[in-house]
Amino acid sequence: MYAAEDLKRRQEIQSSLKSIVETSDGWLGRIRKREFRVRLASSFITFVLVFLAVAVIDLGSIVGQYGLQYFSSFIQEHPARIAAFGLTALAGGLISGVVTYFLLKRNHEARLKELSFLVTQMKRKISEEDQQEKSSTGEVSEGITENALFLADKILTLLPGLVRRRNQDSLLFGFVAFILTAIIGQNPAVAILVGVIVWIYFRYETRKSYDQEISRIEEQKRIFEQRKKDFIETL
């Protein structure tokens, strides 16, 4: 009877471990996709801002040198110089955008490094346990199981902080929508409206997803803690 109960508890804790790994692995993929979009949006905004800043500085130097009344004639008489200013602004924007992308990528990868390592280790431990279950003895090594419990605890501690609300991301996407609409439609009022709609949409989706997943993680954590307590009592 006791052997049957021990086996049942062992199977329950293994089920919890697998569920935690699946949830964590799924969130790793979603976080990486979200942060890729954030990098693209940040790089685009940096490109636009730097391009405009360099262009304003270049054009301001022309106005300062020749005066505003001669600005139109200067543009018509010196198209090559204006083109050079445009290329300078474009190059500055592109370089700044690329640098922003890779700096954010390094920061994002560093932030996910520990969780990614823990999930990989958990997958390996679970695979080892599954292989041992198929062996002739049908027993699971206590050392491996204890290590798996430790890894699961660390994952459940780390994951909620990574799945936190990211309201600034929705604001970032709204700003990108505003810029693109302003460039394409050349209508500031429509661009503002589109930007606000995109911001509200992503803000709603982010909060909805956060609330659902945090509830799921907390429930998994509660079940895991109870099953871990029951399992440890059998050791």
Domain ranges of the chain: 2-164+218-233
Return the pLDDT at 71.
Answer: 60
What is the signed CA dihedral for 5, 6, 8, 14, rounded to 10 degrees? Answer: 160
Return the pLDDT at 29.
Answer: 87
d(CA 25, CA 225): 20
Return the pLDDT at 91.
Answer: 92
How is the chain classified by DSSP, letter by letter?
-HHHHHHHHHHHHHHHHHHHHHHHHHHHHHHHHHHHHHHHHHHHHHHHHHHHHHHHHHHHHHHHHH-GGGHHHHHHH-HHHHHHHHHHHHHHHHHHHHHHHHHHHHHHHHHHHHHHHHHHHHHHHHHHHHHHHTSSS----HHHHHHHHHHHHHHHHHHHHHT---HHHHHHHHHHHHHHHHHHH--HHHHHHHHHHHHHHHHHHHHHHHHHHHHHHHHHHHHHHHHHHHHHHT-
Return the pLDDT at 6.
Answer: 63
pLDDT below 50 — which residues of the chain? 1-2, 136-144
The pTM score is 0.76
Tens-digit pLDDT profile for residues 103-131: 999 998 888 888 888 888 888 877 777 67
Return the pLDDT at 54.
Answer: 86
